[in-house]
Amino acid sequence: MNEDVKARILAAAKKLFAEKGYSATSIRQICEEAGANVALVSYHFGGKEKLLDAVLRNFFPDEMRYAVMERLENPVDRLKFLIREFLIAMRTDPEVTRILMLEIMLGAERLKTILPHTLSFWQRLREEIRAATEQGLFDIDSLDHALVQTMAVMIYPLHSSGFQPLMESWPPDLETEIAQRTRFVLRGLGARTEDAQ
């Protein structure tokens, strides 16, 4: 029973954070949606911030998945691995993607203080761009600019449904999306590899 209530609270939080944003969602609203007592958020999660952390925790690769990536010798291959993992997670859990997008757009301090796994993912992405650039595989002017643009390409397109009338066939199937978006990122980074052709 406890696990059922915990799962309901988690699902309700994810839904409401994605619809309204973290700041505009109250614990009371989450518990009403979940059909749970307000005190159970503190009991199961330790408060609203830790509930958000729980919602996002499983979205990014865990240490086992990162270990797979670390076995890849080429930083471009490691970057492609990160893009693939992220796009699969986006398709699997679009609500979490929307939460991330809202938090990033709002410039929320939470991204720095309570979501270390979120920053860890983007830091790994940054390091692979830096490593590939140092090896002469990418041609970029600014690492910061390259990171921001790569993040935008990875996050935004899933939420472009408002522009659906402009599209002929969107979204593409997952494998096509991964291939196209990866190629777009690599070209934007000035990749000197066959993958960017």
Tokens of 47: 């408060």
Sequence-ordered list of residues with C-beta below 8 angstroms from that of 99, at least 6 positions apart, any chain: 14, 17, 18, 21, 22, 52, 55, 56
Measured distance CA(39)–CA(174) in Å, rounded = 40
Residue 190, pLDDT above cutoff 70: yes
Q: What is the pTM of this model?
A: 0.79
Measured distance CA(126)–CA(123) in Å, rounded = 5
Considering only 6-15, 68-77, 149-158, 165-174, which range has the smallest mean pLDDT? 165-174
Condensed to tens digits (0 to 9), the pLDDT of residues 110-144 reads 666 556 767 788 899 999 999 999 999 999 999 99
Total tally of structural domains belonging to the chain: 2
Pair (136, 172) in one structural domain: yes
Measured distance CA(51)–CA(56) in Å, rounded = 9
Measured distance CA(157)–CA(169) in Å, rounded = 13
Domain of residue 187 covers 58-196
Measured distance CA(81)–CA(67) in Å, rounded = 11
Condensed to tens digits (0 to 9), the pLDDT of residues 60-78 reads 777 788 889 999 999 999 9
CATH number at residue 40: 1.10.10.60
Pair (161, 95) in one structural domain: yes
Pair (24, 39) in one structural domain: yes
